[in-house]
Amino acid sequence: MVFGWGKKKTQQYEEDITSREKEIFLSEIPDIIKELKSIKEKTIISETSAFRNNIKSNCDSILKTIDDFEHTNIKSEDLDPHLYTILQRGKKQIVSTIKQECTVNFPDIISFNDVQTFHKISTRMLKRIGDMVGRQSTVLHTLANKFANRLKDDLKNMKDGNDEIQTLIDNHINFEDNANEILENIDKYGQSEKTLVDITNNQKQMKKNIEDLSSTIQHDIDAIENIKSSKEYANFFKTKENIETLSVEMREVKNDIDIQFTKISRPLNKYVYITSLGKLEKKLLVDLANNPFDTISKTSKQDITKILELVRNSVQSGTVSVKDINKSLLQIDEILGKLDSFLGKISEYNESKNNLENNLKNYDFENLRQNESKLRKHQDDKSKTESKIESLHVEADNVNESLPNQIKFIERSLNRISPVLYSIKLE
């Protein structure tokens, strides 16, 4: 350092406040940073104040040099008139600029902001003087080389000191950036700890919710079992079973009808193209060939019988060609003979089904459906809550794993800005 004050003073402060190694709690760090900041601010303020005094002394020296320079006469008889004019003009510019810059008012150095303000002023002053001297170096060396050398020495001292102040400012800004980062990470650590507390509380509440849901689910199950164990529900269930049994029997009847009509599907389909039946009767013929079970009924019996007899006559006469006439005739006759039986079974099925379904309407199990719906919802809520607990458990593990790394990072960052080797212990 040019001034030498700061280094010794800083060491003295550091030796006063702490030993070289120390264990601390996380909560102590803000105060440590505050104290370090105070020390560093005192150092830079003191260094800058010393430079301020030096630069004022240098300015006084420069002003004396310029005053001597100003009163140095230029011997015109030894110079070309044009060159004389150039030198005279350059001399005036040098004198004017340096007098203006070296009489600038410098602020008192009380705070770091004052340091920055002063440095801006001194930097600007040195640049302006330097630029002028650079532009008019020929004038200076031509007129008075000794003045140029004196000016050069003073300006160098001022620039060296100003550069040192810049280094101090840069270091201080870097310190504050690191300090702020440490404080931010302490806040993050605190947030992590708070997160763990929140997770624990949430898990406790969720476990309580699961206990409540388990009790509610058991209540739903009991309510459902009570309904299903009742005589009324047994009758209801028996009726549903009877409907299913009836449906199975009817599927067998349908299969039998489909098989019977499949045997005569060829003559039926051929007759469609040659028949002179009306539109409705022709549609009945097509439906009979494609879906006999849903087509035959008591209301359509007469028309179906008529169609089957017409098809039989067409087969017999050869109008509808088949491979085996006698076989086709027997199959048609067989269906005509079973038609009443088919109709009876269908009618009996429909009547029985309607009666059973009407009986079902007498039973009201809306409470069963509601309880089953509640059970599904409560089971779903329980499952979701269990999943949330597991997610929180994973989150807690991740946070716990990050805490030591956060402490180490804070520790390393603190030791970068402090001469003391700190180790953080948990409270």
- Closest Cα to residue 164, out of 198, 201, 127, 123? 123
Burial profile 116-140: b = 16 or more Cβ within 10 angstroms, e = fewer: bebbebbeebbeebeebbeebeebb
Cα–Cα distance between 83 and 85 in angstroms, integer?
A: 5
Are 173 and 31 spatial neighbours (Cβ–Cβ below 8 Å)? no
Between the alpha carbon of residue 172 and those of residues 86, 159, 309, 420, the distances in Å are: 47, 20, 115, 18
SS3 2: coil
- Closest Cα to residue 178, out of 361, 409, 425? 409
Predicted confidence pLDDT, tens digits, the chain (427 residues):
444 434 444 454 444 444 578 999 999 999 999 999 999 999 999 999 998 888 888 888 888 887 877 776 665 556 567 766 777 787 788 788 888 888 888 888 999 999 999 999 999 988 888 888 777 777 666 666 777 778 888 888 889 989 999 999 999 999 999 999 999 999 999 999 999 999 999 999 999 999 999 999 999 999 999 988 888 888 888 888 898 888 898 889 889 888 888 888 888 888 888 887 888 888 888 888 888 888 888 788 888 898 888 888 888 888 888 888 899 899 888 988 888 888 888 888 888 888 888 887 777 778 888 999 999 999 999 999 999 999 999 999 999 999 999 999 999 999 999 989 999 998 7
Burial class of residue 420 (count of CB atoms within 10 Å of its CB; 0-12, 13-18, 19+): middle
User: How confident is the model at residue 196, as a pLDDT?
Assistant: 94
Cα–Cα distance between 195 and 211 in angstroms, integer?
A: 24
Six-digit token string for 359: 């009986």
User: How confident is the model at residue 63, as a pLDDT?
Assistant: 86
User: How confident is the model at residue 73, as a pLDDT?
Assistant: 67
Amino acid type, 290: N
Six-digit token string for 137: 């170096």
Between the alpha carbon of residue 24 and those of residues 14, 177, 201, 412, the distances in Å are: 16, 22, 30, 13
Q: What angle do CA 115, 116, 119 make, to 5 degrees?
A: 85
Beta partners for residue 425, in sequence order: 25
- Closest Cα to residue 406, out of 418, 394, 414? 414
Cα–Cα distance between 334 and 320 in angstroms, integer?
A: 19
Cα–Cα distance between 144 and 147 in angstroms, integer?
A: 5
Largest CA distance in the chain: 156
Q: Set out the domains of the chain in order of their start, with CATH numbers.
A: 17-182 (1.20.120), 206-427 (no CATH)
- Closest Cα to residue 271, out of 224, 322, 222? 322
User: How confident is the model at residue 79, as a pLDDT?
Assistant: 59
Cα of 184 vs its chain's centroid, Å: 22
SS3 427: coil
- C-alpha dihedral over 346, 349, 355, 356, to 10 degrees? -150
Give the number of other CB atoms < 10 A from CB of residue 44. 23
User: How confident is the model at residue 3, as a pLDDT?
Assistant: 45
Beta partners for residue 421, in sequence order: 21
Are 95 and 70 spatial neighbours (Cβ–Cβ below 8 Å)? yes
Cα–Cα distance between 110 and 342 in angstroms, integer?
A: 115
> What's the sign of the alpha-carbon dihedral 183, 184, 190, 192?
negative
Are 250 and 349 spatial neighbours (Cβ–Cβ below 8 Å)? yes
User: How confident is the model at residue 152, as a pLDDT?
Assistant: 82
Work out the angle between the directed axes of helices 231-263 and 145-228 (0-180°, nearest 10).
90
- C-alpha dihedral over 14, 19, 21, 23, to 10 degrees? -100
